């Protein structure tokens, strides 16, 4: 009997040891699984935090873009309103023949910012003045071509207007209306925010017709275009030139006001 009990006990010990080993292995396996689960949770939390940070950055960029877009829309509306108002005043006053309709169009540029490619030093240099050798008054064909382009500009058809003024200048380069045609050609590009092309027209006016009544306004618009093209130093130099060369004019007043705004922006 005692031998049987001893034998049974001997056989039981390996089984108990095996059960203990299996139990420890299971516990280790469970611990490993828990550790992996915790590591996975921590990784997931980190990923969520990263995504939240990226989302916050994107929201900030969206708000900034929305603000810039609103500023552009406001500037464009101001330009359209200014053009419409000035052209309306011209129409109410009638359109005399010859040099007079162009002179009546010598209104200052809008106060909206602009920009350009180079500082226009050409205004200070005496350039050719084709108008001096032109007839005292534009003939009927010249007047009709000029009026057609101007009518398109007044109607807001800036593509047709720019084409009309370009064709006019090619066909009648010596017309007394040429300075005004250059100005309104630049305006038709300026109002549609095509600043690099607009500045070329304004600079051509300033260089070729230094005695024209439109030069102060054209030079002012060069400065505006330079602002829009992010050429701040050139714009400041141009606006100072307008103020110095044409004191007491509306263009000089607008140039001084724009300079003050630029200086405040630079100080901030």
pTM, whole model, 2 decimals? 0.54
**Domain match, 12 and 130 both:** no
Residues 147, 66 share a domain:
no
157 and 176 co-located in one domain: yes
Distance CA 44, CA 31 (A): 20
Q: Do residues 101 and 89 both lie within one domain? A: no
Residue 191 and residue 151 in one domain:
yes
Same-domain pairing of 81 and 100: no
Written in H, E and C, the secondary structure of the chain is CHHHHHHHHHHHHHHHHHHHHHHHHHHHHHHHHHHHHHHHHHHHHHHHHHHHHHHHHHHHHHHHHHHHHHHHHHHHHHHHHHHHHHHHHHHHCCCCCCHHHHHHCCCCCCCCCCECCCCCHHHCCCCCCHHHHCCCCCCHHHHHHHHHHHHHHHCCCHHHHHHHHHHHHHHCCCCCCHHHHHHHHHHHHHCCCCHHHHHHHHHHHHHHCCCCCCHHHHHHHHHHHHHHCCCHHHHHHHHHHHHHHCCCCHHHHHHHHHHHHHHHHHHC
Q: Nearest 5°: phi and psi at 15?
A: -65, -40
One domain, residues 87 and 102 = no
pLDDT tens by residue, the chain, 268 residues: 555 555 555 555 555 555 555 677 777 777 777 777 777 777 777 777 777 767 666 766 675 565 456 555 555 555 555 555 555 555 454 443 333 333 333 333 333 333 333 333 333 333 333 333 333 477 889 999 999 999 999 999 999 999 999 999 999 999 999 999 999 999 999 999 999 999 999 999 999 999 999 999 999 999 999 999 999 999 999 999 999 999 999 999 999 999 998 888 777 6
Give the total number of structural domains in the chain. Answer: 2
Claim to verify: residue 43 and residue 113 sit in the same structural domain: no
**Residue 145 belongs to a domain with what CATH number?**
1.25.40.10
Q: Do 73 and 116 have their domain in common?
A: no
> 118 and 76 in one domain?
no
The CA distance from 217 to 214, in Å, is: 5
The predicted pLDDT at position 108 comes to 36
Same structural domain for residues 109 and 21? no
- Residue that is last in its domain, among 58, 77, 93: 93
Looking at the fold, whether 112 and 239 belong to one and the same domain comes out as yes
- Boundary of a domain, candidates 93, 116, 144: 93
Of 78, 93, 108, which residue is a domain's last? 93
pLDDT at position 36 is 76
Tokens of 118: 């180079």
DSSP-assigned beta bridge partners for residue 115: 226
Structural domain containing residue 42: 1-93
């Amino acid at each position: 009997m005692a031998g049987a009990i001893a034998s049974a006990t001997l056989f039981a010990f390996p089984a108990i040891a095996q059960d203990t080993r299996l139990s420890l292995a299971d516990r280790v396996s469970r611990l490993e699984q828990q550790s992996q689960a915790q590591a996975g949770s921590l990784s997931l939390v980190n990923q969520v935090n990263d995504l939240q940070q990226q989302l916050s950055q994107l929201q900030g960029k969206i708000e900034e873009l929305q603000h810039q877009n609103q500023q552009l829309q406001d500037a464009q509306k101001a330009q359209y309103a200014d053009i419409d108002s000035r052209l309306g005043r011209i129409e109410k006053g009638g359109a005399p023949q010859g040099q007079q309709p162009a002179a009546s169009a010598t209104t200052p540029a809008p106060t909206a910012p602009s920009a350009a490619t180079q500082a226009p030093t050409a205004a200070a240099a005496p350039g050719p003045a084709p108008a001096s050798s032109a007839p005292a008054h534009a003939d009927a064909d010249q007047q009709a071509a000029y009026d057609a382009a101007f009518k398109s500009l007044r109607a807001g058809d800036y593509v047709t207007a720019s084409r009309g003024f370009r064709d006019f200048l090619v066909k009648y380069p010596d017309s007394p209306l040429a300075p005004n045609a250059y100005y309104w050609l630049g305006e038709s590009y300026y109002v549609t925010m095509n600043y690099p092309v607009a500045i070329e027209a304004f600079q051509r006016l300033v260089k070729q017709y230094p005695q024209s009544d439109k030069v102060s306004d054209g030079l002012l618009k060069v400065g505006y275009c330079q602002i829009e093209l992010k050429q701040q130093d050139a714009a400041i130099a141009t606006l100072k030139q307008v103020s110095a060369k044409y004191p007491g004019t509306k263009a000089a007043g607008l140039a001084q006001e724009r300079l003050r705004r630029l200086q405040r922006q630079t100080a901030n």
